[in-house]
Every structure is written in structure tokens, then in C-alpha cells.
Amino acid sequence: MTPSPIWHPFTQHALAGPMTPVASAKDAYLYTADGHRIIDAISSWWVVTHGHCHPHIVAAIKAQAERLDQVIFAGHTHDPAEALARRLLERAPDGLAYVFFSDSGSTSVEVALKMALGFWRHSGEPREHIAVLQHGYHGDTIGTMSVGERGAFNAAYEPLLFNVASVPFPTPGAEQTTIDALESVFKEQATAAFLVEPLVLGAGGMLMYPARILSEFARLCRHYRVLFIADEVMTGFGRTGRLFACEHARITPDILCLAKGITGGALPLAATLCRPEIFAAHYSTDRARTFFHSSSYTANPIACAAACANLDVWEREPVMGRLAAIEQMQRSRLAAFAANPRFRSLRQTGTIAAMDLAVSDGGYLANVSPRLYAFFQKRGLLLRPLGNTIYVLPPYCITGADLDEVYAAIAEAAEDIV
């Protein structure tokens, strides 16, 4: 067979085996060309919400593709984008008033950073510093790598990155250290924005912290007049048990970043929502104050139609009940590992469950990770550990039997590999 010319993401091809060819998908399952079933226990990189190929979303995509496939969004608009923007603002935390569309989680955060810097510049009070939370990951563009944890993800690109102030992750018992460190940053430098993943840090290892700390972050930002950016690219659209993670802390960020689950996982789309004063700072007869950002496929009509259909599902189907059921199913299965010495740091937020294997080397490049991935693959499971962290982040249609199969394999993997 001729080698594939494809360069895959986050893949070391010198070590990886053949790529798994997927021919179709339905509900919580992927199917290979020979009909082999794979349980998608990580929602295909955290994007699939209601299940693969949800019929209502598929129908919306088909219908829109026959009417309007694409149009330049500068100087033009269309019904799917107009409807989606209004519906997002209706569901988002109160106080957000404008929506800027882009095409990925990375770009939604990149847009947020540019909005924040533009706001201060155009307000006549230039602030250039960004503060972030340790272990965060916000994407792979230059700006988002700069505000993410420095390490294997971005070491090769260090000359391109700008400096940020990083405060320690709020580990249990040391939360006040984080709050004090953030306040010190705000006192010492004119900070434009504080960027954080609410409640759960995804690629950083599914690290979790309580809503009261998120509330404290927002309080400090208000007190020191720092823009608060919530990166809900992963946590949005139900993962934490509510539509948005910020709801747990009853806060409204100044800027909210959305992607992944916005279309139910069907098509790439992202949105950055902001307060009216951020838009107003860019609103001027001076063309130099234009918000200079775009992508060719901004607000693609087909993707916007899929996102509207996704919101239909939230409104018409008992999605909140499904979230509650998954939360309980995850909790009961996770509890069974509490006495297992091969695991530590069992944790859960909403539908997301995670645990760390007790191995000598941790972190994203832990040697156990590729062995775990191969083990799960042989058992028909899509689980992609983050180093020694095994997490289960399923679509909302997953069954208890599916989760039993997932957790049985996790227990077996610990016996065989550790």
C-alpha cells in the first residue's frame, strides 16, 4: 500500500502505527470500513454532544447546502448567522451583546485577545499585559500558544511567543495562594485581560477547580478593571452539567469563547461573545479603529445552520436530563476505582470524569500514554489519555452499558500496563 501523504495532528509518525480508517458514525459509535464498532468515549476530541450524525442537525446541513453554501461575511449577512447570534446571546450569561464568528477554538480565543487589547487601546488607556492560569491550553495559533502553558506543545516556537503573567493552579488547600497571586499581578502591572478555562482545564490534564474560585477570579477582575475572558471552547454546551460552565459561578465574563460543541460536533465553527462596551470601543468613524480580524469562512451558512439545529436539540429534547444521568453514571463508575492503588486523583465535573495512573513519569509525554491508547484501541474504544491522565468525556447519548465497557477496559489496562 502506498504510504499516506497526510500529516496528522498531535501525531509522532515515527512512532504511531497505521491510522484507523473510519467509514461512518452514529450516536456514540464510530464504524470502520469492515463494520468494526468503536465507542467514542471522548466525543471525537470533545466536539460531539448529542451523538454522531444527529438526524435534525444532518437535515439542517442538507437543507442549507441547497440554498446558500458560502458568502463573504464582510459587507454581507445571512439568516443562519443572524438567527444563531441572537439565539446564542439568549442562552449565554446576561450582559453579553455581540457575537464575532470564526472557525476554531484557537481563533475564538485569538479573537478574544485582540478584542481585549483593542478595547484598551481605543479607550485611551493602553494595557498590554495578559494574565493566565497555570497549566492552561487555549490553542495552537501564535497568540493562543503564548497564553498557554509553556512546554512540549510550544517549545519549538518560543521565539514567536509573547510573555504573560501566569498564576498557580488552585490546588485543593492552596486556593488562596492562587487568588493572592492573581491580585498581586493586577496590582503590579496594567493588565488588559485575565484568560481562564472555567472549572476544567482540558489539555492541561483535565484539572478541576470549584465554582467559588471562578467567582473569585471574576470578582478580582471587576475590582481591578481587568477584562475577564472565559475560554469555554471545551466546557461549553453541557460538559460541566450546565450549558456554560460560568453558570455554576453565576458570573458573566466580559468575553466568552465558544467552539467544539457549538454545532453538536458536525462542522467547524466558533464564536466570541462580548459585552457592548468592547464593541463600542471599536465603533468609530475612524477606520483605523476597525476590528481587524477575519477568516474566509467566517460565519459559513452551513455551519451556522448546523449550530442553530444544535440549539433546537437543546430546546426540544431532554438534554439536561441526559446530562444529569451521565453525571450520575460517571460518578458511580469512578467511585469503584477509589480503593485501587494504581489510580490517584479521581475527579469529576459534570459529564467529565478523570483519573491519573500512579506511574513514575507524568505529564503529557508520559511513556504510558501511547501504550494505553493502543490498549484501548484494540478493545474498540476511543480513549486518548493525556499523558498518565485517563479521562472519559462522552457524547450525551452514551449508555450505561457503553460506560461499563469503557471502565472495565480502564481497570484492565491498569492491571496489564502499570
Domains, the chain? 22-53+318-417 (3.90.1150.10), 58-316 (3.40.640.10)
Strands 165-167 and 129-133: parallel
How far, in Å, CA of 148 to CA of 135, rounded? 7
Q: What is the pLDDT of residue 416?
A: 80
CB–CB of 9/44 below 8 Å?
no
Provide the grid cell at 258: 465558544
Instruction: Report the 10 Å Cβ neighbour count for 399.
Output: 15
Q: What is the pLDDT of residue 27?
A: 98
How far, in Å, CA of 84 to CA of 209, rounded? 31
- The residues facing 191 across adjacent strands are 129
Dihedral over alpha carbons 407, 408, 409, 411 (to 10 degrees):
90
Q: What is the pLDDT of residue 417?
A: 75
Averaged pLDDT in 10-residue chunks for the chain of 418 residues: 87 91 97 95 98 98 98 97 98 98 98 98 94 97 96 91 97 96 97 98 97 98 98 98 98 98 98 98 95 95 98 98 98 96 96 91 80 95 96 98 98 85
CB–CB of 267/65 below 8 Å?
no
- The residues facing 343 across adjacent strands are 357
Entry field: residues in the chain? 418
Dihedral over alpha carbons 88, 93, 97, 98 (to 10 degrees):
-50
Instruction: Report the 10 Å Cβ neighbour count for 201.
Output: 23
What are the DSSP calls for 189-221, one per residue?
S-EEEEEE-SSEETTTTSEE--HHHHHHHHHHH
Q: What is the pLDDT of residue 365?
A: 75
Terminus-to-terminus CA distance in the chain, angstroms? Answer: 35
- The residues facing 255 across adjacent strands are 229, 274
Residue 280, helix vs strand vs coil = helix
How far, in Å, CA of 11 to CA of 399, rounded? 30
How far, in Å, CA of 311 to CA of 316, rounded? 9
Residue 386, helix vs strand vs coil = strand
Full-prediction pTM beyond 0.85?
A: yes
How far, in Å, CA of 80 to CA of 70, rounded? 11
Residue 142, helix vs strand vs coil = helix
